[in-house]
Structures are given as C-alpha cells and as structure tokens.
Structure 1
Amino acid sequence: MDHPRKVRLAAFLRDVWDEGRTDAVGTYLAPRYTIHHDPGDPWDGRELDVSGFRDRLIQSRAAFPDQRFDVQRMFADDDAVVATWLWQGTHLGDLPGFPATGRIIRMSGATAYFFDAADRLTGHWQITDRLGVYQQLMAGRTAALTASSP
C-alpha cells in the first residue's frame, strides 16, 4: 500500500468504521461529505457536514457495534481510491423489523472514496450486497420465531 491516499483510507476505515471513533471523523473528512450513490442507505444522495457524518456513524454501528471491514484490494486514480471489501458484524442491536439476534452477518461491496486537494474525504459511491444482508436477517428472524414457538 504505497499510495498515500490508500494509507489514509485504510486508517479511516479502521479508526472510524471498525473502531467507531466519532472523535476521529473530523481528522479524515472535508467540511462537506456527499453520499453520491449508496442504494438502500438512508443517507443515499445526501450531503453531510462532519457532525451529520458522526450521527450517521453512530446510527450505522448501533446494530453491529463490533463490525469490521476486511479490505481486499485498493485502487488509486486521480482524486479517488476504490476499495473492495468484506464486512461482518454481530447483530446485537435492533433494526426496523429485525430484533437483535446475536448472529454474525456478512456482506461484500466496493466503494469509491473521493478526496480533495488536502487529502480529506469528500464523499463516496458504493455498491453492496444488501440483499444478502436482508436474507441473513430474515433467516435470523425465522430462527428466533421458530425457537420461541411452543
């Protein structure tokens, strides 16, 4: 990982998303962060300030507080770094329609992160396997209902 923006992105993913360090958000983000494309994400299409991104981080991690990204590859080009990744977290908090199950949920995806001239993150464009997450959550809900039936 020789490109400085790859190193910075890896640190951002570790500090902010894996560790949930809300205090680190301002270290990595530009004053405005745009979610250009992230279907299924409640923040899709929105522009956030640093405080709004912190709120997003807290809400996003609430159901999976031990979540971890395992970056598979990174590709740098001009003002962007694309990361392909595997993600997993234990479903410890409720999601709408899905009470916590304690089950490990897995997902894969690819995200293009954009940087400004000061190497601060300005936004992302992301694709993920949200259908796979939904299927895993449904399986957990079905198992919980079956276990609680007389």
Structure 2
Amino acid sequence: MSADAENKAIIRQLYEEVWNKRRLELVDEILSPSHALHDPNATGSAVGPEAYKRLVTRFITAFPDLRFIIEDSFGENEKLAIAWTISGTHKGEFMGIPATNKKVSVDGITIIHTVNAKVMDSYVSWDVWGLMHQLGVVPAFGEPKGVAAR
C-alpha cells in the first residue's frame, strides 16, 4: 500500500471508527504516544492519545449523536489535509454552554503529519463562531447586537 493510501486509511479509521462508532480503544493504535493536537478552539495544545480520548469524550458527551463526514482529503507522503463536517444535537454542556437541544452542523479542516503509520501531529481549525451562532449564543455576522439563532 502506498504512503498516501495508508494515510487515507488511517484517517478513515480515526473518523469512522473512533468518532462515529465511539471505538476509543483504537486511538492508541492510530496516534503516536507523543501525538500533539493543536486546536485553539477546543484544547489549545494537548499531547498523547489520552488527551485525544478526552477530547472525543467531551464532544460525544455534549453531542451524543455526533457524526463526522469526510468531505475531501488530499496530500502526499507524510502530510494529509482533511475537510470535514460534524453534525449532532447539543444534549450536554459544551464549552460552558448548557444543553440547548439544537441540531448543529459545523465545517472544519484537519492537517495531519504521519510517521510509520502513526499520526504524530494534528492541526485543527473549525467554525466555532458558526457553532456558537447555531447554539444561540452569538449573533451571525451582520446581525444587530443581541440577535442570536433561535
């Protein structure tokens, strides 16, 4: 299997098995012990598989029906970019916001670096403002102050 095909298989396993099927035990197989997650919206920086499991748990606790859809992926050798959409229903506290029971859909992108079939680094950027608007916490850009999603 080529490095590109191997990387794409790793990513499918991470999103489909770990996130969508809640198989957290696979995180140790997929991520390097020194994996660094860089997500300024959710974690800042976190190191290791256990930190990643805590992140997944935080999301799926707040959004029990959360699903990842990989929209696109591209890259070569040790680098891969993944465009994704998550969707789910806000049923538990998340980022200090109590459950709203609102359905949300948020786009994001992750850039990963692999070495020897393990994810070493993940750089994540996602539409946190869009999420906050969908939860009714902030107005959309251009809306008058005090107007949020209802």
The two structures have a TM-score, normalised by structure 1, of 0.82
Q: Which residue does 1:146 correspond to in 2?
A: none
Does the 8 A contact of 1:91 with 1:103 survive in 2?
yes
Structure 1 residues 63 and 82, CA gap change in structure 2 (3 angstroms) = same
The 5 Å alignment of 1:33-72 reads 33-36=35-38, 38-41=39-42, 43-46=43-46, 48-72=47-71
In the alignment, which residue of structure 2 is the partner of 1:5? 7
Report the residue type matching 1:32 in the other structure: S
User: 2:23 and 2:136 mapped to 1: Cα distance?
Assistant: 30
Q: CA deviation at 1:100?
A: 1.3
Q: Percent identity?
A: 24
SS of aligned partner of 2:64: coil
Residues 48-104 of structure 1 show CA distances to partners (whole Å, capped at 9, x for unaligned) of 222222222212321012111111111022211111111101111122442212221
Q: Return the alpha-carbon distance in structure 2 between the equivalents of residues 99 and 39 of structure 1.
A: 21
- CA distance in structure 2 between the aligned counterparts of 1:26 and 1:142, rounded to whole angstroms: 39
Contact 1:67–1:88, Cα closer than 8 Å, also in 2: yes
Structure 2 unaligned segments of length 5 or more: list them: 138-147
- Which one-letter code corresponds to 1:28 in the other structure? I
Structure 1 vs Structure 2 CA RMSD: 2.1
Task: State the alpha-carbon separation in 2 of the partners of residues 142 and 6 from structure 1.
Answer: 36
State how far apart, in whole Å, the 1-side matches of 2:94 and 2:52 are: 19
Does residue 126 of structure 1 match 2:124? yes
Comparing 6-15 with 91-100, greater Cα deviation is found at 91-100
Contact 2:37 2:52 in 1 (8 A): no
Three-state SS of the structure 2 residue aligned to 1:53 is helix
Residues 58, 94 of structure 2: 8 Å contact kept: no
CA contact (8 A) 2:134 2:149 kept: no
Distance in 1 between the 2:30 and 2:65 partners?
21
After superposing on structure 2, the runs of 4+ consecutive aligned residues of structure 1 that deviate more than 4 Å are none
Which residue number corresponds to residue 110 of structure 1?
Answer: 109
Structure 1: give runs of 5+ residues left out of the alignment. Answer: 144-150
Residue by residue, what CA displacement relative to the aligned partner does 1:28-65 show, whole Å, maximum 9, x if unpaired?
Answer: 111111123x2211x2223x222222222212321012
